[in-house]
Homo-oligomer: A and B are copies of this chain.
């Protein structure tokens, strides 16, 4: 950590500050005197130093971290890829492209079982489906909730596909016993109390990037879960909010290679929410395969124009089948290049 002081500080102020830093933290401090400012360099374990505390000192001009502020998620301290393996053998991470597919919302037993069977035939290895739905409007359909989870279990029983579904409140956790991968939605990425609780369970967590969150903040939220003891975190890029309005969000495709460089955790892409437009899903899925994402999470609905939510960004099982073939081809090619 490098601390630039404001010009013309008294030596005793600097000395006192250095004294405080070395007594409070396990660091050594180097002082370097420039023409305009004095700069302090901190060596040691600086992750636990709160840079806001440093910036609050009235003689400090600015602070720059050299070490990343996350440890458990950091590839530097854990060079090998984390691979999430389910009891049924399904894997995310470590090469290959896992397909997670299913409807935005669970709507009925017929619907979820039909879609589950279809996406399984096309090569999906996980079933997604919303039981608790975060909706901007209180007047929109909020999901089938507990009954939706029950229907997901039924679809799992029939197809063997593990379930990925979103949790919106820690109070719902008892209902998630049969859920295989617990999803944290974009709007809850910094719901820190939820993250802390999910750190205590022993199921993989699929953590979606928030609409306006940086890559570093996504990693810090993963760190919350991991610091609690649950190291099975899957990161998900699902588009960020920008000024562009044609697409619902802007897929930050760079986030995939950036994340894979910074962390050992697997990274999946959600082209459905990223675009909000069903005809954009296939090209974005191909792009994700081309940058070696570890998986795709895609909304598939038997009848998108009658979906109870997000129909405009859902594709049919037949379209998913075509897409699955194409992304597998690109993924296989890219892994041989």
B314 and A56 contact, CB distance less than 8 A: yes
Given A284-B291, A312-B52, are A246 and B215 also a contact pair (CB < 8 Å)?
yes
Question: Scoring A residues 262 to 280 as 1 if CB is less than 8 Å from chain B, else 0, what string do you get?
Answer: 0000000000001100011
For A242, give its contact among B135, B243, B290 (CB under 8 Å): B243
Task: Please choose the segment from A81-89, A95-103, A117-125, A188-196 that sits at the chain B interface, where 4 or more of its residues have CB less than 8 A away.
Answer: A188-196
A58 at the binding interface (Cβ < 8 Å): yes
Given the interface contacts A170-B171, A258-B246, A311-B56, does A220 sit within 8 Å of B137 by beta carbon? yes
| A252 lies within 8 A of B244 (CB) | yes
Stretch at the interface among A64-72, A146-154, A156-164: A64-72
The B-contacting residues of A in range 283-337, CB under 8 angstroms, are 283-284, 286-292, 304-312, 314, 325-326, 329-330, 333-334, 337
Does the CB pair B214–A246 fall under 8 Å? yes
Q: Is residue A168 contacting chain B, with contact meaning CB distance below 8 A?
A: yes
Copies of this chain held together in the complex: 4
Q: Are B250 and A250 in contact (CB under 8 A)?
A: yes
In the bound complex, what is the Cα–Cα distance between A286 and B242 (angstroms)?
Answer: 23
- CB pair B66–A36 under 8 Å, yes or no, is yes
Which residue from B57, B140, B214 sits with its C-beta under 8 Å from A305? B57
Q: Which of B50, B254, B337 contacts A326 (CB 8 A)?
A: B337
Task: Assess the B34–A32 pair: CB atoms within 8 A.
Answer: no
Cβ A304 vs Cβ B244 within 8 A: no
Q: B305 and A280: CB pair below 8 A?
A: no
Q: A43-B34, A169-B193, A243-B242 are in contact. Are A58 and B304 (CB under 8 A)?
A: yes
Across the A-B interface, give the 8 residue pairs with the lowest CB-CB distance, nearest first. Answer: A56-B311, A212-B212, A290-B290, A169-B193, A187-B190, A286-B290, A287-B287, A257-B283
Q: Would you give 22 A-B contacts (Cβ < 8 Å), ordered by A?
A: A32-B32, A50-B137, A50-B308, A52-B140, A57-B311, A58-B304, A134-B192, A169-B170, A188-B191, A191-B191, A240-B242, A240-B243, A240-B244, A240-B250, A242-B243, A244-B255, A253-B284, A258-B280, A284-B291, A286-B334, A326-B337, A330-B330
